[in-house]
Amino acid sequence: MSVVGTQLFIKPMQPSASVSPGIQRRHTLPASEVRPLNAQDAISVFEIEREAFISVSGDCPLHLDEVRHFLTLCPEWSMGWFEEGRLVAFIIGSLWDQDRLTTEALTLHKPRGSTVHIHILAVHRTFRQQGKGPILMWRYLQHLRCLPSVRRAVLMCEDFLVPFYRKSGFKVLGRCAITVANLTFTEMWYPISGHAYMRRNSEAIRFPQHPLTLPLTKTDEHVDV
């Protein structure tokens, strides 16, 4: 469930040799970076998620133990945006192997699946209305296009978020079979297959093995999560 420049990633600038050690220590963290999440990020993830969803839906898509579960089991399907070491936005995903989402998709990771289930996209409250949600989703989908095994991405969202995800290229599949308490959801999908050109040129946008700086970009989006 969920709430550009020509280069996706660029290497962080190294401090000049003439800079004093004290200044170097203050600038060891890139101003902005994107990387896969891990289990150590779980509490920061959950704090952002809880604040973003409890006031709107009354519950969290993923509880803390479920966040830890996915970030331990399949961290490579997550993406976190950090500014000066602070998590400001994130996506958590896993693989799924069926045409439509079922209740099992909320807790399972299917390593042989060709569908990426995006469980959640959330942005820290002090960084909303800055276009970070759309930017992070765009970068995540660019990453998926470089993976030959992935055929599509799916998510479930409340109806008021459908326009937000449409702007990112998602299409409506229909009503989701999953309900939570009295909440119902729309299931949406994004086609990944057929991007041979992107895969042949994936060196430019490959998901980094080490934290890299993220060029700062602003958008005119009015909806952010």
User: How many structural domains are present in the chain?
Assistant: 1
Establish if 66 belongs to a structural domain: yes
Establish if 2 belongs to a structural domain: no
- 93 is written with which tokens? 């995903």
CA distance 79 to 118: 11
Please give the helix or strand (H or E) that residue 141 lies within, else none: helix 132-145
Establish if 7 belongs to a structural domain: no
Higher confidence at residue 25 or residue 125?
A: 125
Residues 93-109: tens digit of each pLDDT: 999 999 999 999 999 99
Establish if 184 belongs to a structural domain: no
Residue 193 DSSP SS3: coil
* Catalytically active residues, by annotation: 94, 108, 119, 121, 165
Residue 79 CB neighbour total at 10 angstroms: 22
Per-residue pLDDT averaged across 71-80, rounded?
97
pLDDT classification of 9: cutoffs 50, 70, 90: very low
Establish if 224 belongs to a structural domain: no
Please give the residue range of the domain that contains residue 66.
32-152
Least confident of 53-62, 77-86, 108-117, 170-179: 53-62
Supply the pTM of this predicted model.
Answer: 0.75
CA distance 7 to 214: 9
Residue 44 CB neighbour total at 10 angstroms: 18
Residue 60 near residue 46, CB atoms below 8 Å: yes
**Beta strand spans in the chain (E):** 33-35, 78-83, 86-96, 115-123, 152-157, 171-175, 186-191, 212-213
Residues 124-174: tens digit of each pLDDT: 999 999 999 999 999 999 999 999 999 999 999 999 999 999 999 999 999
Residue 2 CB neighbour total at 10 angstroms: 24
Establish if 142 belongs to a structural domain: yes
Specify the CATH number for the domain of residue 107: 3.40.630.30
